[in-house]
Amino acid sequence: MIFLRNFIFGVISAFIILIGILAYRQNIFQPESLPYDDEQAGLDEQVVINFSHVVAENTPKGLAATRFAELVNKKSGGKVIVYIHPNGVLYNDSNELEALQNGNVQMIAPSISNMTNKLPSWQLFDLPFLFKDDEQVAAALTGQLSESLLEELDSLHIKGLTFWSSGFKQIAANTPIVNIEDFEGLRIRTMPSNMLKQQYEIMHAIPITTPFTDIYEELDSMQIAAQENTISNLFSKGYHKTHANITLSNHGILSYAVMINEGFWEELDTETQQIITDSLAEMSEWQHELAIELNEENLHKLENNKEVSLYTMNEEETLKWQQAVRPIYDVYAQRYKKYMKLLLNDLEVQNNK
């Protein structure tokens, strides 16, 4: 009898202690909300944007993201905070789009080439030797064509905001690349774009698609003998230390589509939306200039680096390369002729300025 009484008493006591622990952990004994202090004022209204990208901070994209964060913060009086996550620390270029669509981050700025699997018409920008100079690139990235291309993001439930530039791409390799014959059998890393792959295949090279953040590993394991990229991307990651033969070919461009999660965007009030679009518009010209300056500045450093061998392609060599890729050019220019027309208009407008 005594045993039974002790047993029941023990069970009830254990039950009460357990309820006590659970209540404590759920903060039931705490006051409902924290006491008010000035620092919390406005926290409810704060807008936080996580902006993920894959390159270094001292690149045209990295610095533009930082400037964007500063501008929106200033214009919103501190209400909008943009946290920049560079160098692929959160997501790389093969999973950042999904992260944006899932709302794990609110903004990204992938390269146009990286988007071509989802939006094939964007391959137009990967056409070899499409642009003569930086002015033409800026005209295309800010004109009518760019507006139409940004609208295509609606089909992916993404709000397209603007395009940024990283400038012209060059070839960096283990061995000197001068003539198109030098591409024969060359294992060259490209971004994931069929157009890019085809232009190397047509020259009998072996294109290898790797996320930007994995290039180091591929270099280590000697999987790639060459890559195409802008001088600022090559320099900021130190790729010139391995791929020390750099051919200045200006054969293509690297540009970015700045985009924001659609649901997140729609929930922002119109004033905040305006602050975001105004900030991007305000820095657009500066961003294009920045890409030019950084590439020049980094090129200058490479010129002074005895370990690096720079070669500028002459007209004849360029012409041979252009002729080799001509069939691809014709197919794509025909396939996307509506956009080609817009592009020619943009270039015309820029010419008449």
Footprint of ligand LMR (CB under 6 A)? 54-55, 61, 93, 111, 114, 166, 191, 212, 229, 233, 254
Nearer to ligand LMR, 122 or 342 (CB): 122
Minimal distance, residue 52 CB to ligand LMR, in Å: 11
Nearest residue (CB) to ligand LMR, 127 versus 275: 127
Q: What is the CA radius of gyration of the chain?
A: 26
In the complex, the smallest distance separating the C-beta of residue 251 from ligand LMR, rounded to whole angstroms, is: 14
* Separation of alpha carbons 16 and 5, rounded Å: 17
Between the CA atoms of 67, 73, 76 and 82, what dihedral angle is there, to the nearest 10 degrees? 100
| Shortest Cβ 341–ligand LMR spacing (Å) | 27
**86, two tokens:** 């560079």
Q: Can you spell out the DSSP letters for 59-127?
A: SHHHHHHHHHHHHHHHHTTTSEEEEEE-TTSS--TTTHHHHHHTTSSSEE--BTGGGTTT-GGGGGGGS
Q: Which residues contact 274 (CB under 8 A, 6 or more apart)?
A: none
Neighbours of 17 (CB within 10 A): 10
Residue closer to ligand LMR by CB (options 55, 137) is 55
Among 109, 94, 97, 126, smallest CA distance to 63 is for 109
Q: Is the CB of 161 or the CB of 347 nearer to ligand LMR?
A: 161
Closer by beta carbon to ligand LMR, 92 or else 136 = 92
8 Å CB contact between 187 and 175: no
Q: Residue 297's CB: how many other CB atoms inside 10 A?
A: 12
Smallest gap, in angstroms, from Cβ of residue 202 to ligand LMR? 21
Toward ligand LMR, which CB reaches closer, 188 or 280?
A: 188
- 111 vs 198 by CB, closer to ligand LMR: 111
Q: Phi/psi zone of residue 329: left (φ > 0), alpha (ψ -120 to 50 degrees), beta? A: alpha
Kindly state the smallest distance separating residue 232's Cβ from ligand LMR, in Å: 9
